[in-house]
Amino acid sequence: MKLRFIINVALIAVVFLGCVDGKSDKKAEFKKTEEFNYYVEQFADLKILRYQIPGWEQLTLKEQKLVYYLTQAGLSGRDIMWDQNYRHNLSIRKALENIYTSYQGDKSTDSWKAFEVYVKRVWFSNGIHHHYSNDKIKPEFSSDYLKLLLTDTNTTLEGEAFEVIFNDNDSKKVNQGKGIDNVVLSAVNFYGPNITNADVESFYAAKQSPNPERPLSFGLNSQLVKENGIVKERVYKSGGLYGSAIDEIIKWLELAKGVAENKAQGEAIALLIEYYKTGDLQIWDDYNVAWTNATEGNIDYINSFIEVYNDPLGYRGSYETIVQINDFDMSQKMKVLSDNAQYFEDNSSIMDEHKKANVVGVTYKVVNVAGEAGDASPSTSIGVNLPNANWIRAAVGSKSVSLGNIIEAHNNSASTGRLKEFVHDEEEYELEEKYGQLADKLHTALHEVIGHASGILNPGVGETKETLKNYASTLEEGRADLVALYFLYDSKLQELGLVDNWQAVGKAAYDGYIRNGLMMQLIRLNLGNDVEEAHMRNRQWVSAWVFEKGMEDNIIEKVVRDGKIYFNINNYEKLRELFGDLLRETQRIKSEGDYAAVEALVEGYGVKVNQSIHAEVLERNKQFTSAPYSGFVNPVLIAEKNETGDITSIKVTQPETFARQMLDYSRNYNFLPEVN
């Protein structure tokens, strides 16, 4: 599970996959280098940033080699993500990049400038669909102009691959609409063009795990197609689908295994290699158990087909890698949460029959990213909790990490202008300025460490992706958010030494969540659009539900001042009670597999947008030039070798430009054919 970063520092608390340190602590966490330039460039609705790798020089050469090999393994599978996102992406990318590097004509025209922006947007999204909204990116140049560029550069792009750039076909990468065939109407390349929702559901209904109490993650590492009327899987593995890229991943993982920090880490990497070789989902589970238990050492990583947000039905995993260096100082400070996981479970608002009697194996670390690829790059999360299998979480535990240097880069590149526009009053602004980053950091930790680890399914209830179907992801993210929100306004945090003013931190957290869920995240949507993305949906249905339920007591007040709308929390204690009520209901829905209830919750509160508020938010936001989405170039690790080919040192450099890194990646990690 991931937590996504949102818009700017004012919104940090409300994104998932993770979520940030208080200002008073940030200088201790990072030795701020004034001359480091976090900003690379901005175009369309996107801002490109850089990040540093604190602690790199303190690693031994062996540890640096491990990071280097794991990073190379990750990049070797980069093109898998492109192909998973859409079947024509690799053909389109190759043509666009050839034009970008070869065209010698007039580059001062508006059409060429629009072409450059389009290419960069496609790079950022790993394909022609927006990384967050899932809408197809619309070029601001004509099809005739693209034909001219193709001719002038002797580049070929024909048929559907050319036409789809400009027509209305495959308009949504992931379509989560109600009452439609989500698979048929989603362009994502997890399914053949003639596969339907019913095909998917019937295919996996017929599959049974050897141990029903430890269900395998069917569909996670395959494409589902129909050949001669027969539905079958094309498995991602060596010798199978994406085999040429997977063989490169295996090559680098073998080198990583050879420099593993300890036996447990080496054994986990060996199982990952075996999984890539075979595509065996039992080995995948064995690997996740071994990886979860491998908690010692300075280096960790995420690698494989993991998150299912891009599958409208929640089966298939997107390729993703993150290589991490442990920040021991900050990890030790936050270890207190995992040490007290049972307290939070016992004192949660959920029903007693849904509480875990023994919360096990929850580890939480602050890490510094050394490299990312696939679904994690350029747009990255700020926190991760894995593995995703419910039975492994219950029996073995999980790892939760906060990506410290990514958060630090966001914080150092943000401005406060947008925040001032949308806060209700000076008190709210001062709370955010003083306690907002600490509140966000704790939100991330509570979401990941406590939220995703909390609760149990009722006996006999199937996996959430099967019972709650297309609403599974947004329900789980909202549930974890609610766990965090419930405990963010709790004196226990001060008792544990995590804050020095629990009420102020809690108020800042509640203000930020409601402000974002009801207003600020709408900056990301075009007027008239429904909310589609799972995390945006969960923030809206949580905020809208508590707003509605608290109307009678005026718990959250809608204020109109000088013609502008604001939301002001009048009673934080009662708002916490509402968060607790909704948490109890979301856990019941998950535990019982209540599809009708989750559909009513999400469709009733999380999908439709108040159009007058949306129009106002967009109008008020026009004064700000900062893009609503941020992503990153990765530092470049350069291995220096002696005359015998042995690595003698590994240097960290920063890429010159976003375009240069994208072109280098396409040239150096191009291991798949255009059609797979």
Statement to judge: residues 30 and 156 lie in one domain: no
> Which string of b and e fits 348-370 if b means at least 16 CB within 10 Å?
bbbeeebbbeebebbbbbbbbbb
Residues 10 and 106 placed together within one structural domain of the fold: no
Domain boundary among 588, 603, 628: 628
Query: What is the predicted pLDDT for the residue at 48?
Result: 97
Rounded mean pLDDT, 235-241: 98
* 122-150 pLDDT, tens digit each: 999 999 999 989 999 999 999 999 999 99
Same domain as 26, residue 153 = no
Q: Is the pLDDT of residue 91 over 90?
A: yes
Q: Please determine, for residue 359, whether its predicted confidence score (pLDDT) is greater than 60.
A: yes
Among 628, 647, 670, the domain-final residue is 628
Kindly tell me if the per-residue pLDDT of 251 is higher than 90.
Answer: yes
Q: In this structure, what DSSP letter does residue 306 have?
A: -
Task: Output the pLDDT for position 4.
Answer: 52
Q: Does 50 reside within a domain?
A: yes
Residue 70 lies in a domain: no
Residue 50 has pLDDT above 70, yes or no: yes
Contact 382, 19 (CB under 8 A): yes
Q: Are residues 362 and 412 in the same domain?
A: yes
Give the pLDDT confidence of 417-450 residue by residue, as tens digits.
Answer: 889 999 999 999 999 999 998 998 899 889 988 9
Average pLDDT rounded to a whole number, residues 571-579: 98
Specify if 248 maps to a domain. no
Total number of domains in the chain: 2
Whether residue 142 lies inside any domain: the answer is yes
Q: Residue 20: is its pLDDT beyond 60? A: no
Residues 397, 495: one domain?
Answer: yes
Residue 253 has pLDDT above 50, yes or no: yes
Q: Which of 53-57, 272-276, 302-306 has the lowest mean pLDDT?
A: 53-57
Check pLDDT > 80 for residue 416: no
Average pLDDT over residues 174-202: 96
Same domain, 450 and 393: yes
pLDDT in tens, 188-199: 999 999 999 999
Residue 5 has pLDDT above 50, yes or no: no
Distances, alpha carbon 179 to alpha carbons 193, 198, 470, 580, in Å = 19, 13, 11, 31
pLDDT given at position 412: 79
**Average pLDDT score over the chain:** 92
Question: What is the secondary structure of 265-276 as a DSSP string?
Answer: HHHHHHHHHHHH
Tell whether the model's pLDDT for residue 369 goes beyond 70. Answer: yes
Task: Read off the tokens for 516.
Answer: 């974002």
pLDDT band at 510 (very low <50, low <70, confident <90, very high): very high
In a domain, 77, yes or no: no
| 274, part of any domain | no
pLDDT at 449: 87
pLDDT of residue 414: 67
In this prediction, residue 34 has a pLDDT band, given cuts at 50, 70 and 90, of low
Q: Is the pLDDT of residue 25 over 70?
A: no
Rounded distance, CA 213 to CA 460, Å?
A: 9
Residues 34 and 152 in one domain: no
Residues 6+ apart with CB under 8 A from 180: none
Which residues, at least 6 apart from 198, have a Cβ–Cβ distance to it below 8 Å?
none
Give the Cα separation of 406 and 385 in Å (integer): 16
Residue 532 lies in domain: 2-54+327-628
Do 472 and 621 have their domain in common? yes
Separation CA 338–CA 364 (nearest Å) = 6
pLDDT band of residue 18 (cuts 50, 70, 90) is very low
Q: Are residue 542 and residue 465 in the same domain, yes or no?
A: yes
Strand order in 319-326's β-sheet? 2-4, 381-386, 398-403, 362-374, 319-326, 299-305
**What percentage of the chain has pLDDT greater than the value 90?**
83
Which residue is associated with the tokens 């539905």? 231
Question: Considering the domain boundaries, does residue 515 fall inside one?
Answer: yes
Q: Is residue 80 part of a domain?
A: no
pTM as predicted: 0.82
| Residue 415, pLDDT score | 64
Task: For residues 77 and 56, give the distance between their C-alpha atoms in angstroms, rounded to a whole number.
Answer: 24
What average pLDDT does range 353-382 have in this prediction? 92
Please tell me whether residues 7 and 105 are part of one structural domain.
no
Q: In this structure, are 388 and 515 located in the same domain? A: yes
Q: Which of 591, 613, 628 is the last residue of a domain?
A: 628
Collapse the DSSP code of 77 into the 3-class scheme (helix H, G, I; strand E, B; otherwise coil) and give the result. coil
Q: Determine the pLDDT at residue 8.
A: 36
The residue behind tokens 């050949």 is 227
Residue 325 pLDDT exceeds 70: yes
Helix or strand holding residue 151 (H, E): helix 143-152
Q: What percent of the chain shows pLDDT beyond 70?
A: 95
The Cα–Cα gap between 482 and 20 comes to 18
328: left (phi over 0), alpha (psi -120 to 50) or beta: alpha
Assess whether 98 and 36 both reside in one domain.
Answer: no
Is pLDDT at 26 greater than 90 in this prediction?
A: no
